[in-house]
Amino acid sequence: MLAFIRNHKTFESDWLNSVLKFLAGDRLARMSGKFAMNLFVPLAAILVFLMLWTAGAQRVNTSLGELPGPSKVWEQSAALYEEHRAERAKEAAFNERMQARIDKAIAAGKPAERIEKMRSRQYTGSPTFIDQIFTSLWTVMAGFIVASVIAIPIGIVIGMNQTLYQAFNPIIQVFKPVSPLAWLPLVTMVVSAVYVSDEPWFEKSFLTSAITVTLCCLWPTIINTAVGVSGVSKDLLNVSRVLKLNWFTKTMKIILPSSIPMMFTGLRLSLGIGWMVLIAAEMLAQNPGLGKFVWDEFQNGSSNSLARIMAAVIVIGFIGFLLDRGMLTLQRSVSWDKTAVMR
């Protein structure tokens, strides 16, 4: 595995390297310095943070009980997982009962379409924490992809054309700082009015949240793509003039590859912002994801609520981190300059 990692710089990272070398049993003496840096120092910092958290939490008393420390949060995370398992067991029991009913119906000779309907019946329990994580991920991906599909072409075009840049710039600058919470009521009204159908593919709340994410995550991508495109090295542009490349080849072979770093910086920023915006949008639009989970726990006001909300906060942060790393890996695989440092 070490060899694989070394040969595929896409997955490289100092941290991973040193851990794997340690595990592979390379000479400990030579490794220890770097290893200590990469593994022990972060671990120690995390431990100190946990201790400070425990001490601080005990001092804060809210009307919902003491602020939960790491142990309570851990307990509640386990509880959330248990609830997920219990719900899945209930679903399995429901499916068994449905199967029994289907068998009875077949034996009684009921019409085929009725049997079909029974087969396609879904369990109607409420979404668990794990389900909500996936809903949030779908929603953010939907919003982000739509935003990127709109933003990248616009960014490229305005980066290459100074006139268009001057035209669009004021609009971008004015809409960029708008908070998602300000967009939300407008988006809700528009979706309610426009998206009317008897057999909707998407829930209205899903659309509202996804569109809000799109509106907020367009801007970093547009701006960074524009900057990347307009900052292509003069030498490369001269090469294209010398070779008399047509517009399309110039864009595909010279401009896009050299602006990929900036474009991806923009995409990473957008995804990060989109994930943050999503949680707020879900709280208000009641999309059944992590934002709704936090809101519902707050409304419940049980003595476990704060711990559960904190567990959700940690999960949100962790997922945001994974999304960012995912984008970074994607960037590395697409970038032509593998020696460039990317963190």
Of 297, 315, 316, 323, which one interacts with another protein (CB under 8 A)?
297
Instruction: Decide: is 303 part of the binding site for another protein (CB under 8 A).
Output: yes
Which part of the chain contacts another protein (CB under 8 A), choosing from 138-146, 161-169, 208-216, 304-312?
A: 304-312
Site for another protein in 36-95 (CB under 8 A): 63-64, 83
Q: How far apart are CA 73 and CA 81, in angstroms?
A: 12
CB 184 within 8 A of CB 281: yes
What is the nearest approach in angstroms of another protein to the Cβ of residue 95?
12
Site for another protein in 94-113 (CB under 8 A): 97
What is the nearest approach in angstroms of another protein to the Cβ of residue 74?
18
Query: 279: which 2 tokens?
Result: 């949680």
Instruction: Decide: is 120 part of the binding site for another protein (CB under 8 A).
Output: no
Of 8, 85, 104, 121, which one interacts with another protein (CB under 8 A)?
121
Cα radius of gyration rounded to whole Å, the chain = 26
Comparing CB distances to another protein, the nearer of 282 and 297 is 297
Q: How many CB atoms lie within 10 A of CB 83?
A: 13
What is the nearest approach in angstroms of another protein to the Cβ of residue 318?
21
Site for another protein in 228-247 (CB under 8 A): none
What is the nearest approach in angstroms of another protein to the Cβ of residue 53?
24
Instruction: Decide: is 286 part of the binding site for another protein (CB under 8 A).
Output: yes
Of 59, 108, 124, 241, which one interacts with another protein (CB under 8 A)?
124
Q: For 82-86, which contacts have Cβ atoms below 8 Å and span 24 or more sequence positions?
A: 83/128, 83/129, 84/128, 84/129, 84/130, 84/131
Helix H segments across the chain? 2-7, 14-24, 28-35, 41-59, 70-107, 112-119, 129-160, 162-175, 180-194, 204-230, 234-242, 247-250, 256-285, 290-300, 305-334
Of 26, 66, 75, 296, which one interacts with another protein (CB under 8 A)?
296
Of 99, 162, 302, 333, which one interacts with another protein (CB under 8 A)?
302
**Site size with another protein, rule: CB under 8 A:** 18
Distances (CA, A) of 139 to 170, 181, 188, 214: 29, 17, 15, 10
Q: How far apart are CA 8 and CA 1, in angstroms?
A: 11
Instruction: Decide: is 162 part of the binding site for another protein (CB under 8 A).
Output: no
Q: How far apart are CA 293 and CA 53, in angstroms?
A: 23
Which part of the chain contacts another protein (CB under 8 A), choosing from 5-13, 222-230, 298-306, 309-317?
A: 298-306
Sequence-distant (≥ 6) Cβ neighbours of residue 333 within 8 angstroms: 10
Helix (H, G, I), strand (E, B) or coil at 66: strand
What is the nearest approach in angstroms of another protein to the Cβ of residue 264?
39
Comparing CB distances to another protein, the nearer of 26 and 296 is 296
Residues of the shown chain interacting with another protein in the complex, contacts defined by CB under 8 A: 63-64, 83, 97, 121, 124, 126, 286, 296-297, 299-305, 308
